[in-house]
Structure 1
Amino acid sequence: MVAIGDSAPAFSLPAAGGQTIDSEGLKGQPYLVYFYPKADTPGCTTQACDLRDQKQTLGTLGLKVIGISPDPVEKLERFAKKYGLDFTLASDAEHELADRYGTWVEKTNYGKTYFGMERSSFLVDADGVIRAIWRKVKPAEHVALVTEAASEL
């Protein structure tokens, strides 16, 4: 599990649009890595659409947004198209990056225990250092928290 002040874990993941997103290509710019459980579900849609709607503000701050879920790329592409999401959506199907960030966790729902993605976000500065962490973030509050923290980078 990572903490504020740690170097962000290196990664390379397949992304919607036939792209690959990797930490090497992000050097020199701040970015937000946000992990979400499942594309096209109510909470994940709220969070993604809020980020889409604030992309100009976040872009003014120089922040690149990367959403990561365990969904296959094809599902991410349908999600992006359906809601006009114009930021990177990447697939961590084997939850390797989620494990490094500590977001692949044990969950309980209706008495059933299973492993899944914890909705969490990490603000990484231009030097690759984690500057803010939001665990179990509420979708409707997410963008305001990110915008405030990113403005201080």
Structure 2
Amino acid sequence: MSDDRQNKAFPVSWDQFHRDARALAWRLAGAGPFVGIVCITRGGLVPAAIVARELGIRLIETVCIASYHDYKNQGETEVIKPIADIVTAAAGPGGQGLLVIDDLVDTGSTAKVVREMLPRAHFATVYAKPAGRPIIDTFITEVSQDTWIYFPWDMGLSFQPPIRDGVA
């Protein structure tokens, strides 16, 4: 989404993200069993590691997809690296038994691409926006479509002006 539509900021600390990813694992514990995780890079790497640890899953694969090309603007969705055949072979038909993890579902464009690859997998994200919610199965926190989430791996330590100064 372009800058002019992103009115709100939602900064997430490492501590908060870890708590939210563990909450996701807690919610997913009853949805399995899962034979493996496919994480959507790059955002899905951190929550996938946390969920894998919490659920004792050792088979972890990546599907590399680019949709944000300059952090703020979403562009064409491009599959850079598909899912390895050995991983899909370990699952049931259509990816049944696989857990797909990402940090966020925004418009759903990335999730739709992976859903076509693994139509029967379970899709989970830590955060969800309304436009992408129908594509996924499980999430922890919903934020408005016009909110930009600042993940801890994208942030450095810096002063944040108060909201009363008109800065989100």
Instruction: Give the TM-score normalised by structure 2.
Output: 0.31
Q: More relative contact order in 1 or in 2 (CA 8 Å, sep 6+)?
A: 1
Which has the higher Rg, Structure 1 or Structure 2? 2
**What is the TM-score when the length of structure 1 is the normalising length?**
0.34
